[in-house]
Structure 1
Amino acid sequence: MITNENDLKISEMLNLSYKLWEKHSNTWSPMEPEYAKTFILYMIEEIGESIAIIKKKGEAEIMNNIEVREHFVEELGDVLMYFMDILNRFNISSEEFSRIYLEKFMKNMDRDYENQYKNLK
């Protein structure tokens, strides 16, 4: 299942998300698109918890205090878990996501952010 536990692939993360859902499928919402917006809200909540650690502990603590750092990384992991739940609910494969992500990356590499935002009206 997991080829390298220290470097997860998107396909592995999607699989883990689905396995966790299968374990709780009798009490969790179905793996269907109409439930994805709820998981976006859960993901935003986890982003808020990540921000709270930055606000309460500060960047130096995240960088230098192992307990704070692990808590911060755990919250970021929760963000990704909900993100994977969203991808699964919309049946977005790792290949589809990767292709579109890389296309957007290449587009961003060619963007002139300074001029783009300077010219906003």
Structure 2
Amino acid sequence: MLDLKISEMIAMQRDLQEKNQGKWAPLSPKEGRSYLLWMLEEMGEAIAIIKKRGEGAIMDEPGVREAFVEELVDVMMYYIDLLACFEIDAHEFSQAFMKKYSKNMARDYASEYKEYLQSK
């Protein structure tokens, strides 16, 4: 089973960027905003499939599923480009992910939301 690592995806996106050098915006902090917006555009395309075809079609119709997964891949590719724009490597990302995961595992969401709604 194929299971890409973050570091592999970063390297693949750098290869794709190098192949399209001069045609695509460079992976730099200055262009980070553009990559974020392009990623959101791709999210919108995934949302459109859900809205127009529904969850059932994504699960039951191979063509719809393929289109949906392709849009999610586009989102991930722009996400990886965004990491590269700000020189966030696999190690830094993995550390931050594990830290946030641990924090979320210790949270009591029900109490937090109850308190949040009480204070309004």
Distance in 1 of aligned mates of 2:76 and 2:63: 20
Match of 1:92 in 2: 88
TM-score for both structures, normalised by structure 1: 0.93
1:57 to 48, 53, 59: 53
Percent sequence identity over aligned pairs? 50
AA in 2 matched with 1:103: K
User: Alignment partner for residue 47 of structure 1, among 43, 49, 72?
Assistant: 43
Give the structure 1 partner of residue 23 of structure 2.
27
Q: CA RMSD in A?
A: 0.9
Whole-angstrom distance in 1 between the partners of 2:50 and 2:88? 31
In structure 2, runs of 5+ residues without a counterpart are: none
SS of 1:22's equivalent? helix
Deviating runs (4+, > 2 A) in structure 1?
A: none
- C-alpha separation in 2, matches of 1:47 and 1:31: 20
State the partner residue of 1:36. Answer: 32
The letter for the 1-side match of 2:100 is K
In structure 1, how many angstroms separate the alpha carbons of the residues matched to 2:26 and 2:40? 20
Shift of residue 74, structure 1, vs aligned partner: 0.3
Deviations 1:46-69 (A, max 9, x none): 111101000111011100101100
Q: Which residue of 2 aligns with 1:101?
A: 97
Q: Hey, what does 2:14 align to over in structure 1? A: 18
Counterpart Cα distance in 2 of 1:55 and 1:33: 33
The normalised TM-score by structure 2 is 0.94
* Contiguous gaps of at least 5 residues in structure 1: none
